[in-house]
Amino acid sequence: MRTTVGIVGAGPAGLLLARLLHLAGVDCVVLEARDRAYAEARQRAGMLEQSTVDVLRACGAGARLDREGLFHDGIEIRFDGRSHRVDLAAHTGGRQATIYAQTEIVKDLVALQLKDGPPLLFEAQALAVERADTARPAVRYFHEGAEHLLECDYVAGCDGSYGVTRRALPAAGTRVYEHVYPYSWLGVLADVPPTHDELVYAAHERGFALYSMRTPAVSRLYLQVPAGTDPADWPDERIWDELAARYATADGPPLRRGPIMSRSLTPMRTRVTEPMRHGRVLLAGDAAHIVPPTGAKGLNGAVADAVTLAEALALWHRTGGERLLDVYSDTCLHRVRQAVRFSRDLTELLHTGPDRDGSAHRSRTARLRRLLASPGAVAALAHEYTGLWSAWCPAAPAGDGGG
């Protein structure tokens, strides 16, 4: 099989890239190792930056998001038993944080792809990327009981941190920067309406907690726990008691409790691969970079990569010019490094580390007080939280500049 762009992975980055290329008239084929049900059920992020929402709307994937998404003008930060609201919209000219689960984004993009988009092959396991440094790269994959070869002009690696496309980058000239935190997030999905209207970040001496939601009837909550924690060691009552302790304020509403439908452990780590390109293989999303979920930059970073890559490929397809492809890695990594810094700073500010005498917690509290007392610092936080990159879509007026 022959196509212009071979996309490995049908997560948000791969599916959005395929949608944008389709709108730009660029042929592509998407290979996904798992079946459709699994791909649409992978629980991941749920907070969308403003530009992510903008590009989903522009490419035709915003109808259900606009009906069912939860649009927030602010967030709460809690410490020392008090709550402090950060008005995101007021500091950013109306930019919002939107709650809409990754599972729903994938469902919307899959439906568009199967309706009028290029081929999307489920249960097509990519085995290797071949001839990466030639003008005719190829993806060898296994599908329906046989091996096949997908020949392309370019290969887009959107297959996550354990996918095969990362292995197409040679060891010589490729650097991987990694940091693993000594704690993880215990995440639960609870069948109970949210207690709060907006996200709540709690910095408590017992550890960090995050109150989020998926729908008006379903809550999504997280607890900082030691790395390697077994979720089975946390029964429902223990989870709710710990959440209540970390969220407690003198005047806040009591935490609503309900049945916990699922629980999972999310390791906290940073990993960045540089460069994000070798020959005609270009990485996007988790295949290139992973950041702690504290700043909600994982999914949004994957979307930004897809937008940047789609614009570069569309320009090449339209004019033969490779200037945006030549700077693709540098363009993305500039944004990625900012996301890494923001995620690291927010993680270290809100989480509890080794603290024998309580001085570390007092220092974090002092930093939080200083940050929230400074209009400039709060404005900077709001801008970075809602996203600094700009959306692009071939369905909307756009130039040939960088995304």
Question: Average of pLDDT values for 254-260?
Answer: 94
CATH number of the domain that residue 328 is part of: 3.50.50.60
Whether 108 is covered by a domain: the verdict is yes
Whether 385 is covered by a domain: the verdict is no
Whether 149 is covered by a domain: the verdict is yes
Q: What is the pLDDT of residue 395?
A: 61
Beta bridge partners of 139: 129, 150
Whether 48 is covered by a domain: the verdict is yes
pLDDT tens for residues 20-42?
999 999 999 999 999 999 999 88
* CA 171, 177, 182, 183 torsion-angle sign: negative
Whether 238 is covered by a domain: the verdict is no
The model's confidence at residue 388, banded by pLDDT at 50, 70 and 90, is: confident
Q: What is the span of the domain harbouring residue 41?
A: 5-72+96-178+269-353
Whether 102 is covered by a domain: the verdict is yes
Q: Is the pLDDT of residue 372 over 50?
A: yes
d(CA 132, CA 156): 11
pTM of the model: 0.93
Q: What is the pLDDT of residue 118?
A: 81
Question: Average of pLDDT values for 145-164?
Answer: 96
Residues designated catalytic? 72, 201, 293, 297, 385
Q: What is the pLDDT of residue 401?
A: 38
Whether 344 is covered by a domain: the verdict is yes
Structural domains of the chain, count:
1
Q: What is the mean pLDDT of the chain?
A: 93
d(CA 27, CA 147): 22
Whether 376 is covered by a domain: the verdict is no
d(CA 18, CA 28): 7
Peptide bond into 275 cis (omega under 30): yes
Which residues in 105-141 are b (16+ Cβ under 10 Å) and which e? Answer: bbbbbbebbeeebbbbbbebbbeebebbeeeebbbeb
